[in-house]
Amino acid sequence: MTQDKKINKSCFNFENTYTNLPESFYSEINLDPVKKPELVIFNEDLAKSLEIDADCLKSEENLEILAGNKKIEGGEYIAQAYCGHQFGHFTMLGDGRAVLIGEQKVSKPIDITKKESDKFDIQLKGSGRTPYSRGGDGRAVLGPMLREYIISEAMYNLSIPTTRSLAVLKTGEKVYREYVKQGAILTRIASSHLRFGTFEYAANYLGKEGVKVLADYAIDRHYPYVKNNENKYLSLLEEVVKAHAYLVAKWQCVGFIHGVMNTDNMTISGETIDYGPCAFMDTYNPDTVFSSIDVHGRYAYKNQPNMASWNICRFAETLLQLINDDENEAVDMAQKVLYKYSDLYYENWLHNMKCKLGIFDEEAMDKAIIEDLLSMMEKYKEDFTNTFVSLTYRKNMDRGMFLTAEFTNWYKNWQERLERQEKSLDKAYELMKNSNPVVIPRNHKVEEALKAADNGDFTVMEKLLSVLSNPYEYREDIDEYRELPQPTDLPYRTYCGT
C-alpha cells in the first residue's frame, strides 16, 4: 500500500461515532489509490441536502477523496465487519470493497433517504482491498456503479426508503472480470450501514456484551425514542419489524425485486441497500426472478415478504440474550413481536394497493377487488406499472385484458366501490395519480443507458435520470420510457457486479 496522504481542507462536517464501538467491529484501512480519477456524475441536490460544499468537493484536489486516493482530516476510513445468511447459509463477511470515510453531521434531521436522521454515512464502494475482501481485488466496475446510482435515486423519488448515491468516478484502471471492464467508485450515502449481519457477527464472535454495545448504538442512532422503554431491546426488535413491514410492502407495490435479500443486505434502519441483482418487474408474474444466482427462486417477487420475515427472525435470535436472561422467556417475548410482522406487512400492502386504486376508506370486499385485478393481470400477462397507469388516466384500454368480459365486470365493481366513498371520483383519481408511478427504471432503458455510458456517452443516462426524478408526472413526451422491451426467448438476468 502507498503511504496515505491527508487533505486538510474539509468539505464535510464529520462527527464519527462508529469507531467508538470496540475495534473488533471494524478494520482501519490504508488507501489503495487509483491512477486517473474522473468524475462521471455528481448529485448536486443530495450534496446540498447534506450541507456539503459541492464546488469544494468537486475541485481537482478534493475529488481525490471520492477516488479513495487521499484521506481527509476528520475521516475515519474503516471497513465494517459483519456476517450474513447468504441464500440461507451463514457466512463471515464484511466490507470487501467498501470504505466508510466518515459520518456527515447535518444541522437538523432530514429524510434524504426517506428515513429521518441528522447523521449519514459517506462510503466509497469499489475503493480497493480490505481485510474482508476474501481474495477479491476490492474494485468495482462502471456499469454496476452507475446502475446503483440510477436505481437508488429512482427509489428515492418513488418515496421508498433507500441508500443514496452522491457520485460515481471512473478510476482510469481496468478491472478484470469475465471481460475487461472500466473501474469505478461509487460514493454511497446511508443513515447507517448497520445490517442484520452486523448483529449476527456480534452474536457469533463477540458474545453478549458485543451485542449489547451494538444494540445500544443502533438504538441511539436510529430509534432513540425507545431507549427509556422497559425493555429497549425488545422495542428495538419491534421497530425493525415495523420498518421492514413498511419497506417490503412499498417494494411489492411498485414491482421492485431486490434479488439478493441476504441478511447482510438488510439494514437496521429499514433502508434498501445493495442494488446488484435488483430490477423492476414488467409483466406481472409473482414468480419473477432476475438474479442470475437465485436459481431456485428464493428471492422471487412473491417470496420477498416471507424472506424479510425469515431475516428478521435471524436478527431476533441475536437479541434474545438481551431481551431476557431466561432463554425460553426471551423466545416467547420475541415471537410475540415477530408474529406482528405479517399483519403489519399486510396492513401496509393493503393501504398502498388501495391508494393505487383510489380507495380511501375500508370495506370487506377491498382485498378481493385488489386480488381479482392482480389475478387478471397475471392471466393476461399485463404490465404491472402500465396497468395502473391505464386505470389512473383511463388511457390505452383498448387491448388485451381490458377487452375481456372478466375485466368489464371487475371495472364495474371497482367503479361502484369508488362511488360509495364520501370522497369524490375526482379525489379518488387524484389519489391514484399520486400513488401510481408513470415511469420506473425499465430494465431495457437502464441497460441502454449503461451501454452508452460504457462507450463514453452519458447523455442517455442523464435523460433517464431526469425522467425518473418525477415518476408520478404524466407527460406524453416520455412515452418511450413506458414502452415494454422487445420480446425475447431469454429472461432478463441481473448480476452482483462484484
Residues designated catalytic: 264
Distance, CA of 158 to CA of 113 (rounded, Å): 11
Provide the grid cell at 409: 365486470
Distance, CA of 316 to CA of 14 (rounded, Å): 32
Query: What's the helix, strand, coil split of the chain in %, to 5?
Result: 45, 15, 40
Structural contact between residues 96 and 104, judged by C-beta atoms closer than 8 angstroms:
no
Distance, CA of 97 to CA of 171 (rounded, Å): 14
Beta bridge partners of 188: 123, 165
Per-position DSSP letters for 161-215, written without gaps between them = -B-EEEEEEEEEEEEESSSEEEEEEEEEEES---BHHHHHHHHHHTHHHHHHHHH
Phi-psi region of 373 (alpha: psi -120 to 50; beta: other; left: phi over 0): alpha
DSSP 134: T
- The greatest distance separating any two alpha carbons of the chain, rounded to the nearest whole angstrom, comes to 73
- Helix/strand/coil for 422: coil
Distance, CA of 128 to CA of 163 (rounded, Å): 21
- Helix/strand/coil for 122: strand
Distance, CA of 19 to CA of 106 (rounded, Å): 19
Beta bridge partners of 266: 272
How many CA atoms does the CB half-sphere of 306 hold within 13 Å? 7
Sequence-ordered list of residues with C-beta below 8 angstroms from that of 91, at least 6 positions apart, any chain: 83, 84, 85
